[in-house]
């Protein structure tokens, strides 16, 4: 049973579009991290959220932690080709698992 479900699995958009990806679980998280992985490389941390309702911004990326700390979202404004990659959420709960991932392709 996958602890963290991410949606959508795949997303292909044009440059300049906005998008939101989600990370959901039936369990409460003590903390949650978002990583981005580019082809041929390991994941790189984007942000850590620890407080229910917390919102963090990283340039065009906005991260939100659900009030109940069971879900999180990542919103990208005006996506660029450089945003292409696999987006992964990770929790420290139980087995320190990563989510199923959202593969994003942004075309020029």
Q: What share of the chain is helix, strand, coil (3-state, %, to 5)?
A: 5, 50, 45
Contact call for residue 82 and other proteins (CB under 8 A)? no
Q: Which of 44, 58, 68, 105 binds other proteins (CB under 8 A)?
A: 44
Among 19-27, 51-59, 62-70, 87-95, the segment contacting other proteins (CB under 8 A): 87-95
Q: Which of 18, 30, 51, 80 binds other proteins (CB under 8 A)?
A: 30
Contact call for residue 5 and other proteins (CB under 8 A)? no
- Pick from 32, 5, 33, 3: nearest CA to 95: 3
Tokens at residue 57, please? 């911004």
Beta carbon of residue 50, minimum distance to other proteins (angstroms, whole number): 7
What distance lies between CA 62 and its chain's CA centroid?
10
Size of the site for other proteins (CB under 8 A): 23
Contact call for residue 99 and other proteins (CB under 8 A)? yes
- Pick from 103, 101, 98, 68: nearest CA to 3: 98
Phi, psi dihedrals of residue 48, rounded to the nearest 5°: -125, 130
What letter would DSSP give residue 68?
T
Query: Which residues of this chain interact with other proteins, rule CB under 8 A?
Result: 30-31, 33, 35, 40-45, 48, 50, 88, 90, 92-93, 95-101
């Amino acid at each position: 049973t996958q602890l963290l479900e991410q949606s959508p699995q795949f997303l292909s958009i044009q440059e300049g579009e906005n998008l939101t990806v989600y990370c959901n679980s039936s369990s409460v998280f003590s903390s949650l991290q978002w990583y981005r992985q580019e082809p041929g490389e390991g994941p790189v941390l984007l942000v850590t959220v620890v407080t229910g309702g917390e919102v963090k911004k990283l340039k065009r990326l906005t991260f939100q932690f659900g009030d109940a700390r069971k879900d999180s979202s990542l919103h990208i404004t005006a996506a660029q080709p450089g945003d292409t990659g696999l987006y992964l959420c990770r929790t420290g709960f139980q087995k320190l698992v990563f989510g199923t991932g959202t593969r994003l392709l942004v075309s020029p």
